[in-house]
Amino acid sequence: AQSVTQLGSHVSVSEGALVLLRCNYSSSVPPYLFWYVQYPNQGLQLLLKYTSAATLVKGINGFEAEFKKSETSFHLTKPSAHMSDAAEYFCAVERGGSQGNLIFGKGTKLSVKP
Amino acid sequence: DVKVTQSSRYLVKRTGEKVFLECVQDMDHENMFWYRQDPGLGLRLIYFSYDVKMKEKGDIPEGYSVSREKKERFSLILESASTNQTSMYLCASRRRNEQFFGPGTRLTVL
């Protein structure tokens, strides 16, 4: 069975600082992994996805994530936080053989201090 | 641009009412999904559909049903609303490993 764990329900950084949001997965098959972002009062938007090509994946708004099989991790990073990055971030893994069903982590709320 | 729309942004219903949440996508996607989102629990899959009139239970289907009579429309039905169904409901459709989400319906059951 697949699962996703996001470490830290709240993360706070200063504007200009590094953003690091942690995600670990469990999967018995090669995983497809995703990061989604949710701004207040909106639906989710795809930031980036890993589908077994390059292990370093670049997404929108300057975010990137690295797939590390040995660590079963897919952490999201951004070198320099901007106030507009304040949102909730969800890591997800695609359930094998499931018509594209996703299993989501519980989310990490990112705050950015001026 | 893919567009997924949901019939209401906010909805208030009373316990025992039958509630319909509608979702429409405009990109001819075959797969559509209903999730509920609760603080600290993330998104949990209620039902999904991979074709017209086809549906599968997700992780938390109890108290819900769905209908997909046309490819573009996927409806979530609360047969008899209860207070523990107060939540944010998100609909999504899927194309090539990417799910596209609607803006959500915040349902309050009194």
- pLDDT of B98 reads 87
Q: How far apart are CA A67 and CA A59, in angstroms?
A: 13
Q: Provide, rounded to the nearest whole percent, the portion of chain B with pLDDT above 70.
A: 99
Q: How far apart are CA B56 and CA A74, in angstroms?
A: 29
The stretches in chain A having pLDDT less than 70 are 97-99
Q: How far apart are CA B11 and CA B24, in angstroms?
A: 17
Strands A10-14 and A108-113 turn out to be: parallel
Burial environment of residue B91 by CB neighbours within 10 A (0 to 12, 13 to 18, 19 or more): buried
* Average pLDDT of span B9-13: 96
Q: By the 8 A CB rule, do A23 and A6 touch?
A: yes
**Chain B interface residues facing chain A, Cβ-Cβ under 8 Å?**
4, 31, 33, 35, 40-45, 48, 50, 56, 58, 90, 92, 94, 97-104
What does the mean pLDDT of chain B come to? 94
Q: By the 8 A CB rule, do B13 and B109 touch?
A: yes
Minimum-distance CB partner of A101 among B48, B102, B104: B48
Tens-place pLDDT, residues B34-85: 999 999 899 999 999 999 989 999 999 999 999 999 999 999 999 999 999 9
How many other C-beta atoms can be found within 10 angstroms of the C-beta atom of residue B108? 14
User: Taking the CA of residue A45 as centre, how many other CA atoms within 13 Å lie in the half-sphere pointing to its CB?
Assistant: 16
In one letter, which amino acid is A9?
S
Question: How close, in Å, is residue B82 to chain A by CA atoms?
Answer: 23
**Three state DSSP letters for B1-62:** CCCEEECCCEEEECCCCCEEEEEEECCCCCEEEEEEEECCCEEEEEEEEEECCEEEECCCCC
Residue of B nearest to A92 (CA): B43
Q: How far apart, in Å, are the Cα atoms of B26 and each of B6, B70, B100?
A: 12, 12, 11
- pLDDT of A98 reads 64
- pLDDT of A101 reads 86
Cβ contacts (< 8 Å) between B92 and chain A: which residues?
Answer: 43-44
- pLDDT of A41 reads 83
Residues B6, B11, B15, B19, Cα dihedral to 10°: -30
